[in-house]
Amino acid sequence: MALLGVKVIELAGLAPAPFCGMILADFGATVIRVDRTKVFSTLDTQARGKRSVALNLKMPEGVALLRRLCVQSDVVLEPYRKGVMEKLGLGPRELLSENPRLIYARLTGYGQSGCYASAAGHDINYLAMSGLLSQLGRSGEKPYAPLNLLADFAGGGLTCALGIVLALLERTKSGKGQIIDASM
Q: What total number of domains does the chain contain?
A: 1
Q: What is the pLDDT of residue 69?
A: 96
* Sign (positive or negative) of CA dihedral 182, 33, 64, 72: negative
Residue 2 lies in a domain: no
Active-site residue flag, 122 = yes
Q: Which of 26, 35, 44, 122 is catalytic?
A: 122
Q: What is the pLDDT of residue 39?
A: 67
Residue 140 lies in a domain: yes
Q: What is the pLDDT of residue 122?
A: 80
Instruction: Provide the residue range defining the domain that includes 176.
Output: 7-183
Integer angstrom CA distances of residue 177 from 56, 93, 142? 27, 11, 45
- Digit-by-digit pLDDT tens for the chain (184 residues) are 899 999 999 998 888 899 999 999 999 999 999 998 876 656 677 888 889 999 999 999 999 999 999 999 999 999 998 889 999 999 999 999 999 999 999 998 888 888 888 888 787 888 778 887 788 888 888 888 777 777 777 888 999 999 999 999 999 999 999 999 998 8
Residue 60 backbone class (left: φ over 0; alpha: ψ -120 to 50; beta: rest)? alpha
For residue 22, what is the domain's CATH number?
3.40.50.10540
Residue 1 lies in a domain: no
Radius of gyration of the chain (CA): 17
Statement: the pTM of the whole predicted model exceeds 0.75: yes
Integer angstrom CA distances of residue 145 from 20, 45, 116, 149, 157? 22, 21, 22, 10, 18
Q: What is the pLDDT of residue 98?
A: 96
* H-helix or E-strand spanning residue 174: helix 159-174
Residue 48 lies in a domain: yes
Active-site residue flag, 26 = no
Residue 43 lies in a domain: yes
